[in-house]
Structure 1
Amino acid sequence: MGERQGWNRSARRRRPLRAGVLVGGLGVGLCLVGVAGVAVWNAQVVLQANGPVRETADTFLRQVAAGETGPAYGKLCREARGKWSEVGFGSWVRTPPQVSGYEIVDVSVATRGGRPRGTVTVRLTRDGGGSEERQLPVVQEDGEWRICGDPF
């Protein structure tokens, strides 16, 4: 009976540091999930747009090479149609040396300002056999892909 018992603290220990680290870790985890979701969405937009961008450029260039300037003019974006009238575009396309063939070299799609934009690199063949490489800008407008800018 002569032994003394040591003082024991029976109260619950608080661990504010662990709780803070846990809450902070959960917050960082949620942010990473959000960033990953946005990245996946952007990747889907870009990958799904690659085919339609190529198809738009292919149709436009096929029409230009065939001399079908009316339908080709319809593939231009509002900005490009604002620069040229349909008659002016047709005259410009028919100015020698005319495009007689083409080859699509590369298609790239990226998002800028949350909007997908495409660039199609083409090798144009002109009357007389000369060829040159050009960048064809393609934008989405009213749910359709359209050629925008100076393609020649």
Structure 2
Amino acid sequence: MVCCGGALTGGIFLFKSVQSATGPAHDSVDTFLDEMTAGQTEAAYEDLCSATRQQFTTEQFTQIVDGRPKIVQHSITGTNVSNFNGHVSAAVNAELRYADGSSDTHLFQLTKEDGAWRICGRPY
């Protein structure tokens, strides 16, 4: 009984540790995709990292989004956070479902800027 209790406590502690590390990155992508679903491209643009925002103006980002099928639903399927020589990054997989009935999986790359997770690379 003591061993089972210890294993359960250790499992809960491990789950909470992983959740505290991956949760904020997961939540950032979830928020970005909620904004995309709602058609709030200006708000979604603000979720991009500075390097990606330098590649597109808000108007260009909106044109790219408008040229693609509209996201109607999404689900996060995996989150990985890594720290390599002090550079913290994350990768979040999401299943995207579009208004035209199609779907695909997209890998979102994130980096931490000013304490917040920001989406980098090919955001959509």
Q: TM-score, normalised by structure 1?
A: 0.67
Number of corresponding residues = 108
1:52 to partner: Cα distance: 0.6
Distance 1:69 1:121 in 2: 20
Distance 2:88 2:19 in 1: 11
Q: Secondary structure at the match of 2:72?
A: strand
1:47 to partner: Cα distance: 5.6
The answer to which structure has the higher strand fraction is 2
Equivalent position of 2:89 in the other structure: 117
Equivalent position of 2:72 in the other structure: 100
Q: Secondary structure at the match of 1:129?
A: coil
Q: Contact (CA 8 Å) 1:102, 1:122: kept in 2 or not?
A: yes
Q: Which runs of 4+ in 1 moved over 2 A?
A: 46-49
Q: Secondary structure at the match of 2:100?
A: coil
Equivalent position of 1:83 in the other structure: 55
State the Cα RMSD in Å.
Answer: 1.4
Matched, 1:55 2:27: yes
CA offset digits 1:83-140 (Å, max 9, x no partner): 1100111111111322222110001111123221110000111121100001001110
Q: Contact (CA 8 Å) 1:120, 1:135: kept in 2 or not?
A: yes
Equivalent position of 1:64 in the other structure: 36
Out of 89, 98, 111, the residue aligned to residue 126 of structure 1 is 98
Equivalent position of 2:7 in the other structure: none
Q: Secondary structure at the match of 1:91?
A: helix
The runs of 5 or more residues in structure 1 that have no matched partner are: 1-43
CA offset digits 1:23-64 (Å, max 9, x no partner): xxxxxxxxxxxxxxxxxxxxx6x7633111011000001001
Distance 2:123 2:84 in 1: 20
Q: Which has the higher contact order (CA 8 A, sep 6+)?
A: 2
Q: TM-score, normalised by structure 2?
A: 0.81
Equivalent position of 2:9 in the other structure: none
Of structures 1 and 2, the larger Rg is shown by 1
